[in-house]
Amino acid sequence: MTFQEILKNAEIRLLDAGIEEYKSDAWLLFSNIYDMDRVEFMMNCLDYEKSDPDPLAFDRLNEAIDRRIEHVPVQYITNVQNFYGYDYYVDEHVLIPRQDTEVVVECVINTLQAYMLDKNLITIPAVLDMCTGSGCIAITLSKELNIDNVYASDISPDALDVARRNNASLNANVNFIESDMFSELGNLKNSLDAIVSNPPYIKSEVIETLDQEVRLNEPRLALDGSEDGLRFYRIIVENACDYLKEGGLLFFEIGYDQGEEVSALMIEHGFLDVRVVKDLAGLDRVCFGHL
């Protein structure tokens, strides 16, 4: 079989299985296993009649297609997800980073740069990413802001293993801490310029209605925000004052319908200039303010 025939066969198998994005999924799996881009693919298609493709790679692709037919997300099969221009390793222990979360990172970068100018900061700002998962927020902030004073916490040791792997592969210098919310973060009290969090925020009853790819594969620990979806926002808002410096910033990723509730929580606990920022789809995505 030629490369063209192999790719077409993968597309047909996914189409027959009812996978909606069968063309793009087939290409992502094919290109990952055969390690080629579109240009290389086209070049190989021109003269690849001369020899047979690697049979081991062909077997690996078929195994990958089998997993995708079982609704395993492509990112968990390839173990790669691009976020803010960086390739992150992901597996079943962490949520797959979403493009929506890039809006959070962009908001943090812009606001923190203005904060540093306003405070005339000479020292490097200290930032905590709580519920870090794959580490994508903390690592991206560290690299984009060129700062080393970034901390990232998570209750899951498996998630932290993934985050540390990404930290090493992307040459960042984030400090990781295993902690159930603030339980192990006592040494950071009154020292942080910003706290950022994309906590579990989906209502417990809603999780069973999510797409199979999410419901059956992504860690429930990182999804379930309790009965009203606000449990972790409450914990963070109630404790943030003990960890932030005066004027320190608090940023949340939020669900599309949580802007008013999270804003009210922050205002109730003394945060000022609380704002909600929308994502590219026009939905509420970020809530932030300062002490």
Question: Residues 177, 269, 134, CA angle at the centre, nearest 5°?
Answer: 25
* Ramachandran angles phi, psi of 275, nearest 5°: -130, 155
Helical pair 3-16 and 22-34, crossing angle rounded to 10 deg: 140
Q: Is residue 39 located within the same domain as residue 181?
A: no
Q: Is residue 77 part of a domain?
A: no
CA distance 193 to 250: 9
Per run of 10 residues, the mean pLDDT along the chain (length 291 residues) is: 88 96 96 89 65 80 97 97 97 96 96 80 82 98 92 98 98 97 96 96 93 92 92 97 95 96 97 96 96 91
Contact 115, 132 (CB under 8 A): no
Q: Is residue 24 located within the same domain as residue 167?
A: no
CA distance 88 to 167: 9
Q: Is residue 66 located within the same domain as residue 103?
A: no
pLDDT at 77: 98
Q: Is residue 101 located within the same domain as residue 242?
A: yes
CA distance 110 to 181: 26
Q: Is residue 14 located within the same domain as residue 58?
A: yes
The count of domains in the chain is 2
pLDDT at 37: 86
Q: Is residue 53 located within the same domain as residue 104?
A: no
Q: Is residue 86 part of a domain?
A: no
CA distance 103 to 105: 5
CATH number, domain of 232, equals 3.40.50.150
Q: Is residue 195 part of a domain?
A: yes
pLDDT at 51: 53
Q: Which domain holds residue 45?
A: 3-70
Q: Is residue 272 part of a domain?
A: yes
Q: Quickly count: other Cβ atoms within 10 Å of residue 105's Cβ.
A: 24
Q: Is residue 131 part of a domain?
A: yes
CA distance 80 to 88: 6
Helix (H) or strand (E) holding 127: strand 127-130
Q: Is residue 65 located within the same domain as residue 131?
A: no
Q: Is residue 263 part of a domain?
A: yes
Q: Is residue 171 located within the same domain as residue 269?
A: yes
Q: Which amino acid is at 268?
A: E
Q: Is residue 80 part of a domain?
A: no
Which tokens is 224 given?
């379930």
Q: Is residue 109 located within the same domain as residue 209?
A: yes
Contact 254, 283 (CB under 8 A): no
pLDDT at 52: 57
pLDDT at 206: 93
Q: Is residue 38 located within the same domain as residue 139?
A: no
pLDDT at 50: 44
Q: Is residue 56 located within the same domain as residue 106?
A: no
Q: Is residue 75 part of a domain?
A: no
